Structure 1
Amino acid sequence: MSSEYIITLLKPMLEGAQTTILLFIIAIVLSIPLGFLLTLAVNSKVKILSYLAHGYIYVMRGTPLLLQLLFICFGLPMIPGVGEYLVLDRFVAATLGFVLNYAAYFAEIFRGGLLSIDKGQYEASKVLGMTKWQSLTRIIVPQMIRIALPAVANESITLVKDTALLYAVAVPELLHFAQTAVNRDFTIVPFFIAAIIYLVMTLVLSLFFKYLERKFKFE
């Protein structure tokens, strides 16, 4: 296989990788804070809010992400009466699906982090005269982040790989261009190149989270 052929493959595949990276960044930036808000809602003393948050998490974690993407992209426009107002750009619809899905997973990760914090930490903050907000932001959340960080790292790496599901809703990303090249040229080389690009992205992400883990460990 000539180097010229590989170079011709790289240009469209790297363009597809840009879509993959963009989706990843948007999904992470939005789903992590949304997940934390869901965690607070689950632990809320307002029962209806807690039940709704539990129900949301159950549905989003209990159904396939692909099904959710298909519903948002193709199902919402079919709803009688309002469907015409719910037609979204495919990339926007897919991004919405990823954000809503991963927020539920991050919510469970953060909830686990909060449950692992000793209750004495809450009592100590009260003794120091801190408000609930000060206790949450200065004591509880930093410890929760330290505990939850490895799980967040694993989920983030999974998110990178899950971006391949964009292919199923006709959003041209890395796998789309790899599959197109395979069908056109009758060779599996594009799949190997796609695998290498995915491995590079997950390697960079793994190194970034390793850095964060060391930083939080020694703070």
Structure 2
Amino acid sequence: MIAITRTLVLGLVLGGAAAASPELATLTLSKVNGVHVDLAPELLPIERGPLSIRVSSPSQRMAVHGNRLALRRLRDDLIAADFTVELEGEGRLVAVIKAGVESRLEDEVVVPRQELRVAGSMRLARRPDGYEITFEELPETLAVTIESRLLGQLVKACRGLASFLPLDCDGVGRELSTARIPLPARGDKVFLAAGWLSDEERAVFDRFAGPPAGR
């Protein structure tokens, strides 16, 4: 629920100490570990017939306890990336319910300690002042388990509406216990300034990156 989207994007583009092979590297991401505050991602709404629930987290704190990134060259500048992160956090959860009329509920939310994994592919190119990452293939969403008293309130509200609307409230409850965060689409780009990287990290990027623009 918290700064997960940005954390995962950084995970796909940041490096720590790497293996020696030019075609394979296993990295620890020092820039990702630690505490992230108030970097809420976009969350996918829940749509069930006439019922719409839009969920957001306006404030939150997430602790990343550890991570691992495996890079493997597929061909030229196309790189397979497999990123795993262990995290937990807490914050505020806001839900706007629409079913003819609109109502708003708010409560605390907890992200229990869990391990998340994203596997995909990207292209990495040098630029004069850093590196450009172009995402080629990622899952559409990342599923994150959450806990909140608000979830029970939303299911209760759904069941109240189900007396006169065709609603699957058990399905709504299952969806509410998992926040689904959209990941970058094919062709989306991220720029990483060289100043964000240590000499060792830049050496890893240079091994995997395509040639500088214009060459």
TM-score scaled to structure 1, two decimals?
Answer: 0.31
Q: Which has the higher contact order (CA 8 A, sep 6+)?
A: 1
More strand by share: 2
Flag the structure with larger Rg: 1
After TM superposition, the score normalised by the length of structure 2 is 0.31
Higher helix share: 1
